[in-house]
Chains A and B, each alone.
Chain A
């Protein structure tokens, strides 16, 4: 058996890594898992066209306003119903929750968590996986038994484009929809009602001052840069 799940259906780097592993091992299945409003299947279709086997889409009106704990609880509950060797997640600095959901899911499931992955090397025979985790000075080589949860980075490699054949095949692939009831979860403990954080105030950032444009010789441009650095006390 060789399977993997990708949480967060729109993370193409994690999916690409999973697809490459399956290519390398020669067999296996990839299940996409996402928690998103009802209109999400568009991104799931693309991921299925890239080569994932099937998708599970958790959607429920009660999930609106979910914070990262609600999200992690829902994903963990959905994962309890699935079989897997590895779970892949992507970390996107712009996702608003700062990429902490994968660590929370791993902790809820009691799985080893390997983050910031630049390379993933499974050893199916020994049921373990090695990951290069990017560090401040290079990388650390981590090893954990399967099943494990791995959060990847763009360094895993450029995602492939769906082929025409893939796009056709994706039309017949299964997207299973699950509600909170299906997962045996209590709506009262999730979504906006259970949010642990609240926004007190929001505002536009102060507008940046107008851009000063300098045209001239390189020496003139450089001289203006020096003056600017001095004016702003960036050099003395």
Chain B
């Protein structure tokens, strides 16, 4: 019988990452289509909170306790456990989120087990032959559907592929110990310190609305209007490399080839020209609005709505009108 796994990455406050809740929702729907089983897996020093959260989405959650996870990089500890579970179990697909933790886990588990990996899935369906994974490749120029030659493998799932929805019934959590070492363990990498930076921006990968600023905002103060609009719309702040390189906003907010790839419902660009290296990171967004004073900026070719004008003037007018609506 078809068997699906979801390995949840750690999220805020000891819980799971939102992308893991989305992957769990997706896997539960697929298991229903395939008339198979779905199991969640949580690995942590104290996995109770995360396991409880994952059990909101899945009927069975295996909770693996490993004290090493407290002070080591999660994927370096978790990959060893997952690989050990795989020495006795044969799930058809293992789902993880497509963030840094999920990517590192997938790469390590794949090397330890020989399972293939399909990365950055934008959708998954179930066919007679097994899973069919949708991906957007070559910077969004091509959409592909792929499968595993051996029928089994690991899939990393992009944020916002589905909306996380809890199951009708809460699942049960089963403590679980991975089979004793048949594979060598990976070296666990020590975390000396976890530093929160003041004014850390909301993460862009999972945001449903992104308001992004480019060189056109002119300086760090220029991001004020971008931040106010993001707040008014309930979104996160993104940026181009030009703005990041100028030191106006941290690299974590950069969108594009050497930054992050995002797919929000709304991408709102202020003072961004739309260079190809930026476009590849945002072209699959649901709706794209751009404000730019240059009517010939490349972003005019792929925005849905292109407002020619000064971003500060249009931005202030928009803030005013949004405030008037909610008043």
Interface residues of A (CB under 8 A from B): 13, 67-69, 72, 92-94, 96-108, 110-116, 118, 130, 133-144, 153-155, 158, 195-205, 208-209, 211-216, 218-219, 221-226, 228-229, 232, 234-235
Contacts and interface: CB of A to CB of B under 8 A. Distances in A.
Nearest to A195: B149
B108 A107 contact: yes
A144 B190 contact: yes
Interface in B88-133: 98, 100, 103-108, 110-112, 114-120, 132
Contact of B281 (A68, A93, A234): A93
B179 interface: no
A133 B76 CA distance: 14
A226 B197 contact: no
Interface string B171-187: 00000000000001011
Contacts of B260: 93
A205 B284 contact: yes
Contact of A113 (B76, B265, B310, B314): B76
B132 A200 contact: yes
Contacts of A105: 111
B307 A225 contact: yes
B142 A224 contact: no
Contacts of B288: 208
Contact of B307 (A104, A115, A198, A224): A224
Contacts of A218: 309-310, 313-314, 316-317
Contacts of B241: 154
11 contacts: A97-B117, A100-B110, A104-B108, A105-B111, A107-B112, A138-B196, A154-B251, A197-B118, A214-B308, A222-B317, A226-B322
Contact of A136 (B108, B136, B203): B203
Please name the 7 residue pairs, one residue from A and one from B, whose CB atoms are nearest each other, closest first.
A196-B116, A103-B107, A98-B119, A100-B107, A107-B111, A222-B317, A138-B197
Interface in B261-314: 261, 265-266, 280-281, 284, 286-289, 291, 295, 300-310, 313-314
B192 interface: yes
A101 B117 CA distance: 10
Contact of A213 (B194, B245, B308, B321): B308
A222 B145 contact: no
Contacts of A229: 233, 266
A138 to B, nearest CB: 4
A107 B144 contact: no
How many of chain B's residues touch chain A, expressed as a range?
35 or more
A208 to B, nearest CB: 6
Given A68-B110, A218-B310, A200 B258 contact: no
B289 A228 contact: yes
A112 B189 contact: yes
A128 to B, nearest CB: 10
Nearest to B79: A107
Given A141-B195, A153-B251, A222 B304 contact: no
A106 to B, nearest CB: 7
Given A107-B111, A107-B112, A225 B318 contact: yes
A133 B302 CA distance: 34
A223 B321 contact: yes
A205 B314 contact: no
Contact of A102 (B107, B114, B150): B107
A99 B156 CA distance: 12
A119 to B, nearest CB: 11
Contacts of B321: 219, 222-223, 226
B117 A154 contact: no
Contacts of B320: 222
A199 B76 contact: no
B300 A198 contact: no
Contacts of A100: 103-104, 106-107, 110, 117, 119, 156
Contact of B318 (A142, A143, A226): A226
Contacts of A224: 305, 307
A113 B241 CA distance: 26
B320 to A, nearest CB: 8
A207 to B, nearest CB: 10
B107 A196 contact: no
Nearest to A114: B189
Contact of A226 (B104, B108, B117, B325): B325
A136 B145 CA distance: 30
Contact of A139 (B116, B197, B313): B197
A110 B189 CA distance: 12
A103 to B, nearest CB: 3
